[in-house]
Amino acid sequence: MLFPTKWSKPMARCLLLRRHLTAAATATAAATAPLPARSAHRVLDRSAHTDRIKELARLGRLREAREVFDAMPHRSIFAWNTMISAYCNSGMLEDARSLVDAISGGNVRTSTILLSGYARLGRVLDARRVFDGMLERNTIAWNAMVSCYVRNGDITMAHRLFDAMPRRDVTSWNSMLTGYCHSRQMVDAWHLFEQMPERNLVSWTVMISGYARIEQHRKAWDIFRMMHREGVAPDQSNFASVLLAVTGLRDLGVLEGLRPLALKTGFESDVVIGTSMLNAYTRDASALDTAIKFFEGMPERNEYTWSTMIAALSHGGRINAATVVYERDPVKSIPCQTALLTGLARCGRITDARILFDQIPDPIVVSWNAMITGYMQNGMVDEAKELFDRMPFRNTISWAGMIAGYAQNGRSQEALDLLQALHRNGMLPSLSSLTSSFFACSNIGALKTGKQVHSLAVKAGCQFNSYVGNALITMYGKCGNMEYVRQVFNRMRVKDTVSWNSFISALVHNNMLEDARHIFDNMLSRDVVSWTTIISAYAQAERGYEAVEFFKIMLNKHEVPNSPILTILFSVCGSLGAPKLGQQIHTVAIKHGRDSELIVANALMSMYFKCGSADSHKVFDSMEERDIFTWNSFITGCAQHGLGREAIKMYKHMESAGVLPNEVTFVGLLNACSHAGLVDEGWQFFKSMSRDYGLTPLLEHYACMVDLLGRTGNVQGAEQFIYDMPIEPDAVIWSALLGACKIHKNAEIGRRAAEKLFAIEPSNSGNYVMLSNIYSSLGMWVEVAEVRRIMKQQGVTKEPGCSWMQIRNKVYSFVTGDKQHEQIEEIESTLQDLYTSLRTTGYVPDTEFVLHDIDEEQKESSLLYHSEKLAVAYGLLVTPQGMPIQIMKNLRICGDCHTFFKFVSHVTKRDIDIRDGNRFHHFRNGSCSCGDFW
C-alpha cells in the first residue's frame, strides 16, 4: 500500500485537484495560442454553411439546404440541429427523424427540436416518445413537452406534467398560462396568474391576449392598465397584444388615448409598433381613411407596413387604391406581392393576380400557395391543379390548400385522392389536410373512407387534437353513424365549445332533436354558433315558436345575434305568417346594425312578402346593395300576391340594372303570369329563357306553363304540352293539370292526370281529393264513392283544413268542422248572421265543393264550417271594427270560401288577407287581388 489508509481519501483529492489544475493550465495556453490557419478556416466554413442552410430553409428551398448540408466535410452539432429544425419547420418530420437517428452525439436541443416539430403538427404521441426516450432532460425539455400538450389543447396532461416538473422557471408558468388562455379557461388562467412567484412581460402579454381571444376586450385593456400601474414597461409584443384588444373594443377614442403612451415610450416611431397601430386602425372598416392618414405619417415603414395597408385596402373593396400603394412600395417584397395577389383574387380579378404572380422572378412557396388559394377561391380548380403540379417545392400548406380547395369546390373525391397521393409520398398529413379530408368525406357520405382517414389521424398521433375530433364528429354525424359520434366525443380529452356545437349538429342532422336540446341545456358555456344551431334545429323541425323562445332567452343572456340567426328567424316568421313578431326581430336587427347586411335584408324582404306586408317594398327600396336573390325574391313575392304586371315591371328594371336572370327568375315570372292570366307574356318569357339567356327549361318551368295554360281554360292544350315535353313530367306537372281540370270541371283529362299521380305518389291525399272535387262538382257520385274506396284501400286519409291567425301576439287556430273552440257558439252565431246578411246582397253558397251526396241544406251547413270561415268569424268577433284581418291556411282555399270572403269584405268594410297553400288573396271591397285566377 502506497499510502496509509487514513491518508487515502485526502491524497486522492489532492491528485484529482492537481489534474484539474494541469488541465486548466493547458486549456489556458491553448486559448492564448493562435489557432492554426486551417482550423480557423474550418470553423468559419462550418459557420458559413450553417448560415446558408438557415437562409435556404427560410426561403422554403429545403432540397438545396440539404445539398449544402450533405456537402459539408465536417458538421458541427449546430449544423445538424439547423437542418433538423428546417425539416421540422416545413412539416417534413420523417426526414427530421432520420437525421436525429443518424446523428452521433446529439444534445438535449436536438431532441427538443424534434419534440417541438411533432407538437406543431399535433403528433402528441410521437412527441411524448421523444420526451420519454431522452436520457437527460433539462427545464427546456420539460417546457417543450408541456407546450406540446398546450398546443394541442390537452390542458389536463399539460398540468399533470407541470406538477411533475423537478424545477420550474417563469417559462414553465407561462406555458401553463398559455394553455389555459388558449383553452379559453380564463378563470383558471387568472388564478394561476395570481399564484405566479415571478412574472415577466410574457405573462402579462399572454393574459391580455387571452382575454382578447374570448372577446373580453375591456378586461384585456384593464390588465394592461394594471401592468402599467405596476411600473412594467411594455415591449413590442406586449404593445401589439394590447393593440389587438383595443381593436376589439371598436373604440377609436381608446386607440387615440394609447398613442401618447406610445410616443412617451418611443414606440410610435418603432416600425413594428407603428405597423401594429396601423393594423388596429385597419381592422375598423369605418376608420380606413384614418388608417391611410396614419400610414402616410409613419416615419418608417417595413415590408409588413406596406403589406398591411395593401391588405386593408383590398379587404375594404378599394383594390385600385391597394394597387397604387403597391406601386409606391420601393421594395415590393414578397409579403406585399402576396397581399396584393390575395386581394386581387378575393375581388375576382384572378387574371390580374396571375399577371402579378408571373412577374415575380423567383417566387417562394408562399407566393405559389397564395396563387393556388386565389384560384380555388374563384372556383378555378383545374388552374390551381396546373400550378400545384408545376411547383418546384411543396410544403404542408401547399397540400392542405389543394385538399381544402377540392373539398370546398364540390370535388371531394379528388380531395381524398390527393390525400392518398400525399401519404404515398411518405408524408403524414397536417391537421388542416385531415380536417379538410373529413369535410370531403362528409360531403359525399364516404363513411368507409372516413374511417380510413380516421386511422391515418391515429397513425399521425392527431386523434386527440380538438380540431380533428370536431371534424370527426361532424363527418360521422353527416354519415349517420351516431355510435362513432358518441365514441369520438366521449374520448376527447379536451372538449371546447366547437366540440359541443358539433355534437349538437350531429344529433340534429340525425333527427334527434330532444337529445340535442338536452346537450345544449348542459353546456357549460355557449357561443353564438351554439344558439344558431339549436334555433336552426327547431326552425327546421317546424317548431317555429320554440325557436323564437330560444332567441328571447339568448337576448336575455346578452348574446349578440349574428346574421344567420336573424335570417333563420325571419324565415320562421314568414312561415308562421307572423308579421308583428317579424317586426320585433327587425327592430333587434336594426339595434345591432345587421339590417343593412345583404343576406339579412333579403330574408327580411322575403318575410314581409310571405306575411302580406307592404314593408317588403320599403325594404327593397332602402337596400344599398342587391344581388340576384334580391330581385328573384321580389319577383316571386309579386307572383304570390297576384301582382303579375308589377313582377314583369320589376324584371325589366332588373334587366336595365345589368343583372342577368337565372332559372329561379323565370319560375317567378311564369308564376306571376299564371296567377294573373297573362298567357302571351308567359309564352314570351318561356321562349326567352333559352333564346336570350341560354337557360334550359327545368321541370319547374314546364309546370308553370301547364298551370298557366290550364288556369286560363286551355286544359287540352296543357295536356298536349305535357306530352310534347322533352323531359319526363313529374308529380308537380300532373298536379298542375289536375288542378286546372278541377277549376274547369274536366273529368276526362282530370282522371288521366290523377291516374298518373296515383302511380307517382300513391299516399298524397290531395290528388284523391281534387279528383273527388271534379266528380262531385259534376254530380258523379258513383265515381266519388270509388275514389273514396281507393283511398280507404290505400290507407290514405284526407288532410284536414286548418287556418290560423295572430291577434295581439297570440296565435288562434281552427280546423274544419271545429266544435272544440271555447267560443264556438259565438263563432257559429256570427257565421249564421253573416250568411243571412250576405244572401240579401246576392251571395249563394256554391255546394259543388261538398264531396258528399247529401241534400242542399246539409251541403250549405257543411260549407259553413270550413276553417277559414271559422277564423274570419272569430276575427270579426274579437277585433275592433275596421281592423284588417289576416288568415293563414294550410290548403288551397275552395271556390265557395273565395266567393264568401269577397262578400264579407264588401259588407263589413274590412280588408281580409288570406294566404293559402298556393298564394295570397287580398279581399278589398268585394273583389280579390287574384282576379279569380287562383
Asked whether the beta carbons of 439 and 407 are under 8 A apart, the reply is yes
Indicate whether 754 and 866 sit together in one domain: no
Kindly write down the DSSP assignment for every residue of 122-142, as one continuous string. T-HHHHHHHHHT-S---HHHH
Indicate whether 768 and 832 sit together in one domain: no
- For residue 386, being part of any structural domain is answered with yes
Specify the DSSP element, H or E, that contains 876. helix 867-878
Asked whether the beta carbons of 887 and 871 are under 8 A apart, the reply is yes
Indicate whether 398 and 445 sit together in one domain: yes
Give the end of a domain, one of 799, 827, 858.
799
Indicate whether 815 and 775 sit together in one domain: no
Kindly write down the DSSP assignment for every residue of 440-460, as one continuous string. HHHHHT-HHHHHHHHHHHHHT
User: Which pLDDT does position 934 carry in this prediction?
Assistant: 61
Convert the pLDDT of each residue in 58-99 to its tens digit: 888 888 889 888 888 888 888 888 899 899 888 888 888 888
Indicate whether 732 and 777 sit together in one domain: yes
Residue 886 three-state SS: strand
- Which CATH number covers residue 760? 1.25.40.10
Indicate whether 815 and 918 sit together in one domain: yes
Give the end of a domain, one of 444, 464, 484.
464
Alpha helices for 251-364 (secondary structure H): 252-264, 271-283, 288-297, 303-315, 319-328, 334-346, 350-359
- For residue 120, being part of any structural domain is answered with no
User: Which pLDDT does position 409 carry in this prediction?
Assistant: 93
Indicate whether 820 and 915 sit together in one domain: yes
- For residue 401, being part of any structural domain is answered with yes
- For residue 59, being part of any structural domain is answered with no
Number of domains comprising the chain = 4
Give the end of a domain, one of 365, 393, 421.
393
What gap in Å lies between CA 345 and CA 56, rounded to an integer?
A: 28
User: Which pLDDT does position 104 carry in this prediction?
Assistant: 64
Other beta carbons within 10 angstroms of residue 867's beta carbon come to: 23
Residue 815 three-state SS: strand
What gap in Å lies between CA 798 and CA 763, rounded to an integer?
A: 10
831 Ramachandran zone, left/alpha/beta (phi>0; psi -120 to 50): alpha
Give me 753's grid cell. 292526370
- For residue 783, being part of any structural domain is answered with yes
Indicate whether 398 and 416 sit together in one domain: yes
- For residue 64, being part of any structural domain is answered with no
Indicate whether 881 and 862 sit together in one domain: yes
Indicate whether 806 and 923 sit together in one domain: yes
Q: Which residue positions in the chain have pLDDT lower than 50?
A: 1-44, 851-859
- Model pTM greater than 0.85? no
Beta strand pairing call for 912-915 and 885-889: parallel
Residue labelled with grid coordinates 384588444: 245
DSSP at 330: S
Give residues with Cβ within 8 angstroms of 324, minimum separation 6.
none
Give me 83's grid cell. 437542418
What gap in Å lies between CA 771 and CA 787, rounded to an integer?
A: 8
Closest to 869 in 3D by CA, of 835, 825, 910, 906: 835
Residue 885 three-state SS: strand
Indicate whether 769 and 753 sit together in one domain: yes
Convert the pLDDT of each residue in 154-205 to its tens digit: 888 888 899 999 888 888 898 899 888 887 788 888 999 999 998 998 899 9
For residue 720, give its domain range.
Answer: 698-799
Give me the sign of the Cα torsion angle 643, 645, 647, 650.
Answer: negative
Residue 634 three-state SS: helix
- For residue 732, being part of any structural domain is answered with yes
User: Which pLDDT does position 512 carry in this prediction?
Assistant: 94
Asked whether the beta carbons of 450 and 479 are under 8 A apart, the reply is yes
User: Which pLDDT does position 653 carry in this prediction?
Assistant: 94
What gap in Å lies between CA 54 and CA 847, rounded to an integer?
A: 92
Give me 255's grid cell. 386607440
User: Which pLDDT does position 386 carry in this prediction?
Assistant: 94
Q: In degrees rounded to 5, what are phi and psi of residue 810? A: -125, 140
Give me 128's grid cell. 411524448
User: Which pLDDT does position 17 carry in this prediction?
Assistant: 35
Give me 142's grid cell. 420539460
- For residue 358, being part of any structural domain is answered with yes
Indicate whether 893 and 792 sit together in one domain: no
Closest to 384 in 3D by CA, of 350, 416, 410: 350
What gap in Å lies between CA 155 and CA 714, rounded to an integer?
A: 74
